[in-house]
Structures are given as C-alpha cells and as structure tokens.
Amino acid sequence: MLQLIRKRTVLMINAGGVLLLVGGMAALSDDVKSHLSNAIFGDHATEFSMIAAPARDAMKVVTATVGGYTDQPGAVLAFGLGAVVLFCLMFRT
C-alpha cells in the first residue's frame, strides 16, 4: 500500500512539473501558446501527431536522467526548488 501511495505521489509531482513547465513556456512564447491552444481546442490529430515522436524521445531522455537520481530525492527536490526560486527572481527584477 505504501509503495502505491509513493508511486501516485511521484506521478502527481511529475505531472505538476510538466504542467508548470508547459504553462511557463506558453507564457513566454506565442508559438508554444498557439500549439497548446490548437492541441486543446483545435485540430487534435494534426497537433498531436506532429509532436508525438519528439515528445517520446524527450521523455525517454528525461526518464533516464531522473532515474539516475532516485537514490537522492532530497537533493533533487532541493535543486528543483532552488531552480524555481531563481527562475521567479529572474523575472521579478
């Protein structure tokens, strides 16, 4: 049961990170915003087929990279929080 809760927690954290990343990219780039809105409200098949292969390759790289850090979740979390704080401070100034 504890392992299932841990897997769900990791899944939710990853999904939240991806949504935060896509939201930030959409806020900074009009091209990303148009692709995102087309994927959600427009022609789904064309948009998803165009990004399926690169997204799959990128997720393989991300999964392999994150898999190497599973022994040190505290350090990865601290680095991620530090990166978010620095990112927010960069746009605040």
pTM exceeding 0.85:
no
Query: DSSP secondary structure string, 8-70?
Result: HHHHHHHHHHHHHHHHHHHHH-HHHHHHHHHHHHS-HHHHHHHHHHHHHHHHHHHHHHHHTTT
Say what percent of the chain tops pLDDT 90.
0
Give the pLDDT of residue 89: 80
DSSP state of 68: T
Give the pLDDT of residue 52: 66
List, for residues 1-45, the tens digit of each pLDDT value: 788 888 888 888 888 888 888 888 888 878 778 877 777 787 766
Give the pLDDT of residue 32: 77
